[in-house]
Copies of this chain bind each other. A is one copy, B any other.
Amino acid sequence: MTISVSQYMLFSLHKILEVLHKLPAESKQVERKVLISLVSFFNISPQLPDGQDLPLPPVILGELVKDPQKPTVCFYGHVDVQPAKKEDGWKTDPYKLTEINGNLYGRGATDNKGPVLAWINAVETFKAMPVNFKFVIEGMEEAGSLGLEKLLQEEKQCFFSDVDYIVISDSLWLSNKKPALTYGSRGNACFFVEVECGSKDLHSGTFGGIIHEPLMDLIALLDSLVDHTGRIQIPGIYDSVASLTEEERKLYESIEFNLEEHKNNSGVKKFLYGTKEEILLHLWRYPALSIHGIEGAFHEPGIKTVIPAKVIGKFSIRQVPNMDLSVVVEHLESVFSKRNSPNKLKVSMPLSAKPWLADVNDPLYKAARKAIKTVFREEPDFIRDGSTVPVARMFQTIMQKSVIMLPIGAADDGEHSQNEKISRHNYIEGAKMFAAFFLEISKLHRHLHETSNMETNN
């Protein structure tokens, strides 16, 4: 059975309404009332650069319970997936959930339909919800959450006005067995470096040896960015990166991370660093610079003796908090000026996604840690993501509220890959953990509220 995004949304909606119908008839009218879900579909359609409107699947905003005494937790999930075909190498129909040896296989099983269903299950377990619950389900995450930011902005003072905490469960544990809490992700700043000598490509027989080739200028610029040990060579780039605290270092020591497995996943022979801690620090905590390619130069198989007239080098810096990126342009301009080249240099930053970093001592993290200990019976790893997680950053920036990424999928779930799965164990225990988390955050919030009231009364 193949389900489209909109069908799945209707299905999710149906599940939510089921929660209401399942309420025992004998439950008090007031309880029934506060549990009534208000669900709205928001049709978002961002405008393309040419002015055209793009019709997108709607975003579902919903709420369950509205009690001023309770904290309001907002859950974010998405129900769209990456394309998948049986021919890609799937052992089962990617769009039919199939259980094999305790694993639930299917596109979206872990990214992100499984976790979305798990929180619906968690909500179902309560006769009376301990928190006010709001949720956002979108259908464009895999395409960059088109239109979502605008919607969040518009609803900030309305639907989201009373939200206290934001929970995203759209990531994975770092290990196959040990639960994790994600508290940060690197940002990403993409740079285009354009060098141009004129409007037309030249013949290397007729001009080779007498002109300043733009591609040579560009290669020198790109080569000045990183040394062979992986250290970024842009002066000042590390100045604003916070130093590692002892508390932070300790977090890294206890993390369960299979270095050999990660190396095998990459297919490379050797990493730049030898220990688990160094690898994780350089993946999460320190900036990294990657060079992606060159536009405008000869890129096809075979030979073409061309001197390209305009080339655009593309690199990106995975940025960490506090970084000052103005030094990048300064550096490139300085290296270029030393070359005495008559060519035209243009540096631009077409994308700058900021990093996201949460406070691990925030009530959200305390509640989640307790919930994990209760259900999984062990301490979670406190992890970050080397990739950019735009949604976490987007919610944090717009709502100005605490955000947690609370994964229930394991490292080997294979999101976006063939045979994506979530284990039955993670799915069921994950739903329980969400329920435990609701209880913990309501307790902590009440405690904070009382403390704050006491302070006010003093």
Measuring CB to CB, which residues of chain A are less than 8 angstroms from any residue of chain B?
A: 186, 188, 190, 197-200, 202-213, 215-217, 219-220, 222-223, 226, 228, 230, 266-273, 279, 282-283, 286-301, 303-309, 314, 316, 318, 338-343, 350-351, 385-388
Q: List 18 A-B contacts (CB under 8 A).
A: A188-B205, A198-B268, A208-B318, A209-B282, A209-B386, A210-B282, A210-B288, A211-B266, A211-B271, A211-B272, A212-B230, A228-B339, A228-B341, A292-B304, A293-B298, A293-B308, A299-B299, A303-B351
The CA-CA distance from A267 to B310 in the complex, in Å, is 12
A333 smallest CB distance to B (angstroms): 15
Contacts of A340 in B (CB 8 A): 228
Chain B residues, CB < 8 A from A271: 210-211
Contacts of A293 in B (CB 8 A): 215, 294, 297-299, 304, 306, 308
Measured in the bound complex, the distance between the Cα atoms of B264 and A198 in whole Å is 10
Closest 8 CB pairs of A and B: A205-B387, A209-B288, A198-B267, A293-B298, A293-B297, A270-B342, A223-B223, A299-B299
Q: Are the C-beta atoms of B339 and A198 separated by less than 8 Å?
A: no
User: Measured between alpha carbons, how far is A281 from B7 in the docked complex, in Å?
Assistant: 72
Q: Which of B217, B305, B350, B388 contacts A205 (CB 8 A)?
A: B388
The minimal Cβ–Cβ distance linking A100 to chain B, given in whole angstroms, is 25
User: Which residues of chain B are near A208, meaning CB under 8 Å?
Assistant: 283, 288-290, 316, 318, 386
* Cross-interface CB contact of A294 among B230, B299, B316, B341, cutoff 8 Å: B299
Q: A202-B266, A210-B279, A267-B198 are in contact. Are A305 and B386 (CB under 8 A)?
A: no
A226 CB contacts on chain B under 8 angstroms: 216
Contacts of A188 in B (CB 8 A): 204-205, 305
The interface residues of chain B lying within 8 Å CB-to-CB of A213 are: 290-291
A84, chain B: closest CB distance, angstroms: 18
Known A-B contacts A209-B287, A216-B291, A292-B297; the reply to A268 vs B386 at CB < 8 A is no
> A295–B301 contact, CB under 8 A?
yes
Complex CA distance for A386 and B223, rounded to whole angstroms: 29
A290 touching B204, Cβ below 8 Å: yes
Cβ-closest chain B residue relative to A205: B387
CB nearest to A318 among chain B residues: B208
**B residues in contact with A283, CB < 8 Å:** 206-210
Q: Are A286 and B209 in contact (CB under 8 A)?
A: yes
Contact between chains at A210 and B273 (CB < 8 Å): yes
B299/A267 in contact, CB under 8 A: no
A272 touches B230 (CB 8 A): no
A292 adjacent to B204 (CB under 8 Å): yes
Please measure, in the bound complex, the distance between the C-alpha atom of A350 and the C-alpha atom of B304, giving whole angstroms. 12
Are A308 and B292 also in contact (CB < 8 A) when A210-B230, A228-B341 are? yes
Choose among A309, A314, A385 the residue with the greatest number of B CB atoms under 10 Å from its CB. A314
